Every structure is written in structure tokens, then in C-alpha cells.
Amino acid sequence: VVFLVSSQPLLGLFGERVQAGLAGARAIETLVVPDGESAKTPETAIAVWREMLRRGGKRDSRVVALGGGSVGDLAGFVASTFLRGVAVLQVPTTLLAQVDASVGGKTAIDLPEAKNSVGAFHHPDWVLADSDCLASLPQAELRCGLVEAVKMASLLDAELFSRIERDAELLLAGDAEALRPVVVAAIAAKASVVEDDPEEGGRRRLLNFGHTLGHGLETADGYGGLRHGDAVAHGIRFALRLGQSRGWGHQLAPRLLDVLARLAIPALERVAPGPVIDAMRRDKKGSEAGLAWVLAEELGRGRIVTDIGWPEVEVALAAFLDEAWPGPA
């Protein structure tokens, strides 16, 4: 049995195409999950596991995840655990999922206490990223995908960073010719890091640039209106600030902030530091010794820093959240 996991709007957009692609499969069972981040709950995972059992799922069944990073993370997690693990095929339909989430095997669901706090590494057998899918993507989703591409480029691929810098407006407008090489380069950068470090023991941790505060903001927001990519953009700004107070990133920071501003990242809504700090204290990147921050030394050079005390983070965060960004033009 092939279990096609997706949300109603995405099945409306792409269901027929995927069904046609799966025509050779013995049986296709479609499992509809909530759209967006609200798919990533324990309740949805339980509902999908139970439905898979009822509809004849076995060890050699397969899961096809059709959607953005949310469906991909949920379906990948369900596949990783169902009958101790069945194969998953990722069909990413957002830019963010194409450049980042579908590659590398991280899967997870959220708990109210902390984002992605239950999950597994479960690599997809295949990733099928069709750039035609991006044509229907709203600009806000393009922006979020570009943030993940910027994150990757700034620490791993200086050439890709310059390309995004050059083409930011075209990319944000969804220009297919401009987007294609960015998707290809970002996938290549991510795949090469993941191949060397599949379970994030070392260099792969650089891909968490911007994610410590980003996830804290999303958790404090209750996975409401704040998009993942936008949260990461603000997380990158905060990581730059922590780096600058150590004397790093002075050349990179203005370039990175300029690209983020050109991508029209919306200002952060007013948020109290307390719940954000609480969420960061539960961040899965933390060890019992403390939290690992990814900071940027310079373009193409990231650094994992584990000796930043909570008092420093609290003071820096309070100032950061008080400041308007982007400032007056």
C-alpha cells in the first residue's frame, strides 16, 4: 500500500498529478492531515498511524509526503515509527521544503512546550522536487524558503549567497529561471553536509543558524501566525548580534541584514522575552551543559558556541525584542 499523506488544499492543487505518478502502485490510500504547522501534532500522528493499520499498512508499505515542510516532517515521523519504520518518499511543494526540509531525514512533531521536540532521523528513499509546484506559492512562502536558502548560503556556500544577493527581488517575485539554480545549489549544499554528518554530530549543526531563537519564537507564539522562515530570519538577526559582541561577522552582518530586508521579512510582533526564554531552555539542541548557538564568523564560516550564559542571552534578547526592525529607511 502507498499512503499518500497531504492536506486538503495541496491535494486540490497536486493530488491528481501525484496519483498519476503513482499509477503503478497496487493500492493508494490518501490520508488527509491538517494544513500547515497544525499537522505536526501527536494527535495527528496517532490518527495517521491508526488509519494506516486499518487500511492494511505493512512493513513494506510506503509513505508519500506531498506538501511543505509541515506535511513532510509529520509524514516522515509517522513513517519512521510505523511498524518500526517504513520507507518514505518526499514530494516537497514549498520552496522551503525543496531547499531544506525534504533533504536530510529530520522528521518531527511539536509539543506545546517546544517545537520539533519529538522526532527521528529517517532519510527519504527519494526526494522529488518539481519546480513547477512553486508557481502557485504565495509570496510569503517564497520569502520563507529564501530565508532558509540564505541561512545555508551564508555559512556553507558564498557563491550561492552572492547569487541570492544579486537576484533577491526576482526570487521573491517567484521568477522560475532565477529560482531553479538556487534550489539546485541549496540542495547540493545541504546534501553534502548531511552525507558527512547524517545525525548532526558536528558540521550539520551549522544548519541550525537562526533556529535557536527562531524555534523559541514559534513555540512562544503557540505555532500560530508566525511562519517558520520569518522566525528563522529574526533568529539569524539575533545570532548576528551575539556574534558581533564577540567581534565576529562585521563584514557579513550588514550584507545579511540587507538581504533579509530586501526579502521583506515582516517586523516581529510584540513578544515578551519570558516565554521565549522558557522555550529556548527546552530547545532540543541543548545538552545538559547548556545550549549550543550557531554564530557566523564570516561569510562561509560558522561557529558553534556553547559558553553563552543565560544572563547574557536574557539581556541581549530583551534589547533585541525592544528594537524595531527594519528601522526607518
Ligand X SMILES: NC(=O)c1ccc[n+]([C@@H]2O[C@H](COP(=O)([O-])OP(=O)(O)OC[C@H]3O[C@@H](n4cnc5c(N)ncnc54)[C@H](O)[C@@H]3O)[C@@H](O)[C@H]2O)c1
Q: Which candidate, 117, 162, 114, 150, places its Cα nearest to that of 240? A: 150
Is 26 labeled as catalytic in the residue annotation?
A: no
Has 282 been annotated as catalytic? no
* Residue 122 a catalytic site member: no
Name the site residues for ligand X (rule: CB under 6 A).
Answer: 7, 9-10, 13, 35-37, 40, 67-71, 73, 93-94, 96-97, 100-101, 104, 106, 116, 133, 136-137, 141, 144, 148, 228-229
Please tell me which residue in 204, 227, 237, 241 is annotated as part of the active site: 204
Point out the catalytic residue in the list 200, 297, 298, 314. Answer: 200
118 within 8 A of 108, measured Cβ to Cβ: yes
Query: 6, 67 in Cβ contact below 8 A?
Result: yes
Nearer of residues 2 and 142 to ligand X, judged by Cβ? 142
285 is catalytic: no
- Tell me the chain's radius of gyration from C-alpha atoms: 19
Instruction: Give 144 or 168: the residue with its C-beta nearer to ligand X.
Output: 144
For residue 212, which of 282, 143, 152 has the smallest C-alpha distance? 282
Q: Residues for the chain: how many in total?
A: 329
Question: What count of other Cβ atoms lies within 10 Å of the Cβ of residue 172?
Answer: 17
215 is catalytic: yes
Would you call 123 a catalytic residue per the annotation? no
CB nearer ligand X, residue 71 or residue 156: 71
First to last CA, the chain: 56
Catalytic pick among 37, 116, 208, 241: 208
Q: Grid coordinates standing for 83?
A: 511498524
Q: With respect to ligand X, which residue has the nearer C-beta, 97 or 263? A: 97
Query: Catalytic one among 40, 115, 143, 215?
Result: 215
Question: By three-state DSSP, how is residue 64 classified?
Answer: strand
Q: Which residues are tagged catalytic?
A: 84, 106, 148, 190, 200, 204, 208, 211, 215, 228
